[in-house]
Chains A and B, each alone.
Chain A
């Protein structure tokens, strides 16, 4: 990323990496891999909590249950997994902020993530908790959008390590 519009952010990324937490994670041999593994366990829970409802919205999976019933059960796990991933993700970012600054995959991830979060909690969750909602064009659109957004976040996240 050498875009001029973002260049002013470089000092901020450098500051992030120089924070006490960023340096502590960076200096430890074990910290990064262990936090990364917890980040991945969070991905599993997030994937399960999202997909059980998204698949149902698409008319697949647990078809005999109401969408709102599944969304109610999944919600604490969704919130928990998102919180865990944000916390561990922040630690991972702080430890290698400057590398992230020059990494296109990071920018794809960090710009899709807020969209996915806002869509999930402002649109999808609100709709999914409506007891009257059944599989419909609207639910299919929301379920498919949720899967597409989170897939982009996850795939770009994995690709940070390769690019």
Chain B
């Protein structure tokens, strides 16, 4: 059912126009790529603070307060441009193993943010000024940084078609993980 919907989506005129456009697609993709400097960059600096690696004399709440506005704004740009890129070629991304790995890691990163803000950050007053925060905070920072780095790496790899469904034969696990529908066997 998802495939049918995505096939329809990829056949809509705007999707075709976006994929075939000479300047718009590269501009959208470049914006998506360059915004990582702002989004992952500022998030990584906050993670360094949470891990107790750097920025020790800066209260953690300054990062989760004043700096987070920029991180969030950049995230909105990432999501909008990312959705546009997906819209330009839905089936290709849906069946791309790196795209799927990236989406799984986005869920991990999202759960980590949810846990951090829902539980750990509530008691920020207790560790705000400590240059080395409690263990749970450091773990949250490390999980965040690891998942975003991997998301960037996998995101870059989506551009390569090594494991694409139309490039057979592939190992069985690749076809399974990519959700390939094999015909003619």
For B41, B55, B58, B148, which residue has the most chain A Cβ atoms within 10 angstroms?
A: B41
B22 to A: closest C-beta gap in Å: 10
Contact with B along A44-69 (1 / 0, CB 8 A): 11111111100100001111110001
Check if B62 sits within 8 Å of A44, measured CB to CB. no
Q: Is B134 an interface residue (CB 8 A)?
A: no
Q: Is A20 an interface residue (CB 8 A)?
A: no
State the CA gap A43–B149 with chains docked (Å): 11
Stretch of B28-36, B99-107, B111-119, B170-178 at the chain-chain interface: B28-36
State the CA gap A60–B54 with chains docked (Å): 20
Kindly list chain B residues whose C-beta atoms are within 8 Å of the C-beta of A37: 152-153, 156-157
Q: Is A107 an interface residue (CB 8 A)?
A: no
Check if B44 sits within 8 Å of A159, measured CB to CB. no
State the CA gap A87–B57 with chains docked (Å): 32
Stretch of A7-15, A110-118, A150-158 at the chain-chain interface: A150-158
Q: Which of B34, B45, B66, B160 contacts A155 (CB 8 A)?
A: B34
State the CA gap A40–B34 with chains docked (Å): 9
Majority SS at the chain B contact face: helix
State the CA gap A145–B33 with chains docked (Å): 21
Check if B70 sits within 8 Å of A47, measured CB to CB. no
Check if B34 sits within 8 Å of A158, measured CB to CB. yes
Check if A29 sits within 8 Å of B162, measured CB to CB. yes
Q: Is A73 an interface residue (CB 8 A)?
A: yes
Q: Which of A64, A76, A158, A162 contacts B62 (CB 8 A)?
A: A64
Check if B44 sits within 8 Å of A62, measured CB to CB. no
Kindly list chain B residues whose C-beta atoms are within 8 Å of the C-beta of A162: 26, 30
Contact with B along A114-131 (1 / 0, CB 8 A): 000000000000000000
Given contacts A37-B157, A47-B41, are A52 and B67 in contact (CB under 8 A)?
yes
26 CB < 8 A contacts A-B? A33-B156, A33-B159, A36-B156, A37-B153, A37-B157, A40-B152, A41-B149, A44-B36, A45-B41, A48-B40, A48-B44, A48-B45, A50-B37, A50-B41, A51-B41, A60-B70, A62-B58, A62-B67, A70-B55, A70-B58, A73-B54, A73-B56, A77-B54, A154-B34, A158-B33, A159-B30
Beyond A61-B66, A64-B62, 11 extra complex contacts between A and B, CB < 8 Å: A40-B36, A41-B149, A45-B44, A49-B41, A52-B67, A62-B62, A64-B66, A73-B55, A76-B54, A154-B37, A159-B30
Which residue numbers of B lie inside 8 Å of A, CB to CB? Answer: 26, 30, 33-34, 36-38, 40-45, 48, 54-58, 62-63, 66-67, 70, 148-149, 152-153, 156-157, 159-160, 162
